[in-house]
Structure 1
Amino acid sequence: MRGTIKKDGTSWYVLYDLGKDPVTGKRKQKKKRGFRTKKDAEKYLSEQLNAIEKGTYFEPKDITFGEYLDYWLEKHAKPNTAVRTLEGYNYIIQQHLKPSLSNIQIAKLQPFHLQEYYSQKLENGKFDGTGLSAQSVKHHHRLIHKALKDAVKWLFLVRNVAENVTPPKTTKTKMKIWDNEQLKIFLKAAKDSVYYTVYLTASYTGMRRGEVLGLRWQDVDFNNNIIFVRQALQEVKKVGLTFKEPKSGNSRSISITPTLAKELKKVYNQILVNKLSLGQMYTDLDLVFAQKNGKPIQPAELAKNYRKVVENSGLHYIRFHDLRHTHATLLLQQGVHPKIVSERLGHSTIGITMDTYTHVLPNMQKEAALQFDKLIK
C-alpha cells in the first residue's frame, strides 16, 4: 500500500505516494489532514490510490473556487436544473461569487472567507453601492453550500466549509392577499379586460402565472370539470417564450367550478372564431389563453394590464402571484383540509403549505375549539 494513516491529536491524516515528479525526478507525496475518524481517512486514501491507479487522480489545490464553480455549472447545474434556475445560478456566480472569491484555491477556502463575503454583500453588495437583502445573500449561501456539497461528493474536498458558516437571518414578510369581498371587487373591475378569464382562472384554481398561460385545451376536462396542470410557460433570456414542466416536476389535477368552466367555454368558442378568420395565419399551440393569432401571451403585457386593473379597482396592490395565495387562504379559512389545498397548489409536501399559510392557522385553531365545544355540550 502506497499510503499511511496516522493520528494527529484528535484528528487523522493520510500520506500517500504520487510517484516521481517528471521534471525534478524527486519523489512526490501528498498529505491530507482534518479527518475526524480513522474510517474517513481510510476511505479517502483508498479512493485516492484507486484514482492514481486508473489515471484519474488530480490535486484539488490546483483548482480555484472560480474554476470549480464554472465546472459545477457545466457538469451539474446545466443538466439537472430548469433553465430559469440555471440563469439565476449563473448570474450569482458570474456577478457576485467569482469577483469576490474566484482566486482562492478550493482546498484553501475557509469559513471566514464566506462569512466575510456575506458581510460585505449585506453592506454594499449591489452595483449602486447599497447592500443586498438578507434573503438575497441567503440565496448565495444556498448555492455555495450545494456546490461545495457536490465537491465533497466528487472528492474535490474532504468537508463542506459552508456548513460552518451562519447565513444572515431573514424576516418573513407579511403575505399580501385580498379577502373574498376584495377579490369580488377585483374580478368585477377585470370584467372588461381581454385577460379577464386569465385572472378568473388564477383566482379560482391557485395556479401559477406560467401554469395558467401554459394551459392547453387537451388539459381541460369539461365532462368532469377538471384542469390538468402539465406544462408552464416561461421566458428565457436569449431564447424567448418556451414551455416546461410544472415547478414540482409532476402534473396535477384541479377541480374547477361550473362558473369557471362556463367562462372557459366562452374562450374556446372565441378561439374557434379566431381560427376561422385567420386560417393559416393562426398558430395553433392548443393554448387556452393566447393572443388572437394563437401565440403565447407575453407575460410583460399581462403584468401591465394586471396592474392597470388593480389600480382601477381601488384596491391595495398585490402581485399576480398573490392571487394564488389569496385562493389558498380563502380555502383554508373555509375549513378546507390543508392536504386538499396542498394538492391544488402543487406543493411537494403538505408541510410547505402549512409553513406558507401559518397566518391562517390561529383562526382555524379557534374555530376547531368552538366546534369541539358545540359537539360536547
Structure 2
Amino acid sequence: MTTPRDTPASRRSRANGDGTVYQRKDSRWEAAGYVLAPGNTRKRIRVYGTTRKEALAKLTEKIAASNRGLPAPSAQGSLAAYLTYWLDAVAVHHLRENTHTRYTACINRYLVPGLGKKKLAKLTAKDVRTWLNQLRTTCQCCARGIDAARDQPRCCVIGSCCSKRLSPLTLAYIHSVLKSALEHAVREEEILRNVARNVRTGTPRPRRFEPLTADEARQFLAAANEHRLHALFELALHTGLRKGELLGLTWADLDLDDGTATIRRTLQRLQGQGLTPLPTKTRASERRIPLPPRCVHSLKLHRDQQDTERKAAGGTWPEHDYVFTSTTGNPIEQTNLTRTFQALLRQAGLRRIRFHDLRHTTATLLLEQGVELVVIKELLGHAHIGVTATVYAHVRIRLQRDALNTLGTALNHP
C-alpha cells in the first residue's frame, strides 16, 4: 500500500486553493494557482523555479498577497497600476519609512503622469529615454502648476517662464526608482527584461560641499558658546554625527564616565506620524564612538541645564529621555535646528552652509590631520570605505600632492 510519504513530490496532492506544482519536461518546476486580479476578478498565474521548493515559495507568496486583498499585477495592465502594486506590496516591506515616502512622492509626481498610461509589457527603452529627455527640459513650475497655486503669480502664469528645471541628481533619482520597480517585475516574471537599465542618464556631478576651515569652526563654536544647544553643535563638529542621529540621542545612549556614545536610532518626521525614532540609516551606522573630553564636559553642563528646565516645567515635561530637546522638553524639529544653525552662522559672520556640512567639516579636518581613512569611515558610520574615499577624494588628492611636494623638496635639497 502506498503512503503519502512514498508518493513522489511531483504527484503529492495539495489542499484546495493552494494551486498545483509539477515538473516540466525541461526539468524546471512550474506552480500554478488562482489569485486576485485587478477589477476584483481572479486569474490563474504560473511561476517557475529550478526546484520544487523555489516554485512553491513563489506561488505561496503570490497567494498570500492575494489573500491580503492585493491584486496581482498584470503585464497587460498599465505601468501606473504596477507601480501602485509595487509600492503597496513590495517596497513597503524593504524600505525605510521615510525612503518609502520619497519613492511614493517621486512616483506620483513624475512617473505616473509621464509614463503611467503605458502598458507594462509594451514599455520600451525608447519610451523611457524620450520621457527623461522631455523631463530634463520641462519647466516644473509650468508642468506642475506651482505658479498658478500662488496668491500672486509671478512667472509661468503671466507668461514669464522661470525655467525651473530638474537637477541632474533628481533625474538620476527618478530613473533609479523606475529601475528598482521594473527589476522586481522581472523577478516576478511579469516582463522579460528591465528596459530602464538600457537607458543612460549620465553620471551627475556629486553635490559640492563647502566645509568649514579649522579657523571658521573655532569661530562658529565661539558664537554658539552661550546658546542652550552649544553641546549639540560641539558634538556635531567633533564626531560628525548626522542631524537625525544627534536629535535621536538619549541619555541612556551616553556613558559620560567612560566617555562613549552609542548611536542606535535617528529621529525623523514621518507623514501622519510626527517625529518618530527610526533605525539608523544603515547597519554600519549603528555604532559606538568615543567622546572627546570637551564634549563630555559640555554634555554634563547641558544635563544640569536640562534638569533645571524640567523642574521649571513641572508635570508638563514629556516622559522621554532625549538629550537635546526644546525648552518645554519636546523633541526638536530638524527644520527648527536648521534655523538655529543658520542664525548662529550669521552671528559668527560666516558664510551660509548646510548643517550636514558640519559632518563634512569633521571628516575633512581629520583627513588633513593625517587620520587614516578606515578610522574616519568607522566614526562616520559609512557602510563601505569606498563611500568615504569617494566623498572625500578631493581632500585625499590635495594631501597626496602635498606629500609628493614634500618628497620632491627632500630629493632636490638633501
- What TM-score bracket applies, with the shorter chain setting the length? 0.7 to 0.9
Aligned partners of 1:72, 1:153: CA distance in 2, in Å?
12
Which residue of the other structure, out of 205, 229, 234, is the alignment partner of 2:239? 205
Letter in 2 for 1:223: D
What 5-or-longer segments of structure 1 have no aligned partner?
6-40
- Deviation track 1:236-288 (CA, whole Å, cap 9, x = no partner) reads 12221111111113511121210111000001112222333333221131111
Corresponding residue number in structure 2 for 1:37: none
Q: Which SS does the other structure have where 1:297 is aligned? A: coil
Say which is worse superposed, 96-105 or 293-302, in terms of deviation: 293-302
Aligned partners of 1:156, 1:239: CA distance in 2, in Å?
35
Corresponding residue number in structure 1 for 2:137: 123
Indicate the percent of aligned positions where both proteins have the same amino acid: 29
Aligned partners of 1:217, 1:270: CA distance in 2, in Å?
14
- Cα 1:133–1:51 shift into 2, 3 Å: closer
Letter in 1 for 2:249: L
* Superposition deviation, residue 120 in structure 1: 1.1
Q: Which SS does the other structure have where 2:275 is aligned? A: strand
- Deviation track 1:39-88 (CA, whole Å, cap 9, x = no partner) reads xx997xxx999999x99798843221110000000111112111111111
Which residue of the other structure, out of 155, 169, 175, is the alignment partner of 2:189? 155
Corresponding residue number in structure 2 for 1:363: 398
Letter in 2 for 1:324: R
Aligned partners of 2:73, 2:237: CA distance in 1, in Å?
56
What 5-or-longer segments of structure 2 have no aligned partner?
1-21, 27-47, 67-71, 144-163
Q: Which SS does the other structure have where 2:269 is aligned? A: strand
Aligned partners of 2:320, 2:260: CA distance in 1, in Å?
20
Corresponding residue number in structure 1 for 2:126: 112
Corresponding residue number in structure 2 for 1:286: 321
Aligned partners of 2:192, 2:82: CA distance in 1, in Å?
15
- Cα 1:128–1:307 shift into 2, 3 Å: farther
Which residue of the other structure, out of 88, 91, 95, is the alignment partner of 1:81? 95
Which residue of the other structure, out of 210, 217, 234, is the alignment partner of 2:268? 234
Say which is worse superposed, 339-348 or 193-202, in terms of deviation: 193-202
User: RMSD of the alignment, in Å?
Assistant: 3.2
TM-score for the superposition, normalised by structure 1:
0.82
Contact 1:206 1:328 in 2 (8 A): yes
Corresponding residue number in structure 2 for 1:260: 295
Say which is worse superposed, 169-178 or 202-211, in terms of deviation: 169-178
Q: Which SS does the other structure have where 2:276 is aligned? A: strand
TM-score for the superposition, normalised by structure 2:
0.75
Aligned partners of 1:345, 1:175: CA distance in 2, in Å?
16
Corresponding residue number in structure 2 for 1:16: none
Which residue of the other structure, out of 370, 373, 388, is the alignment partner of 1:353? 388
Q: Which SS does the other structure have where 2:141 is aligned? A: coil
Aligned partners of 2:398, 2:200: CA distance in 1, in Å?
34
Corresponding residue number in structure 2 for 1:164: 198
**Matches for 1:22-101 after TM superposition, within 5 Å:** 60-101=74-115
Matched, 1:318 2:332: no
- Cα 1:268–1:51 shift into 2, 3 Å: closer
Q: Which SS does the other structure have where 1:242 is aligned? A: strand
Matched, 1:327 2:362: yes
**Equivalent residues, number:** 342
* Superposition deviation, residue 128 in structure 1: 3.2
Corresponding residue number in structure 1 for 2:117: 103
Corresponding residue number in structure 2 for 1:178: 212
* Superposition deviation, residue 368 in structure 1: 4.2
Matched, 1:140 2:174: yes
Matched, 1:276 2:311: yes
Say which is worse superposed, 111-120 or 298-307, in terms of deviation: 298-307
- Cα 1:371–1:232 shift into 2, 3 Å: same
Contact 1:284 1:295 in 2 (8 A): no
Q: Which SS does the other structure have where 2:393 is aligned? A: coil
Corresponding residue number in structure 1 for 2:334: 299
- Cα 1:338–1:189 shift into 2, 3 Å: same
Letter in 2 for 1:227: A
Contact 2:73 2:85 in 1 (8 A): no
- Deviation track 1:217-252 (CA, whole Å, cap 9, x = no partner) reads 111111221111111110112221111111113511
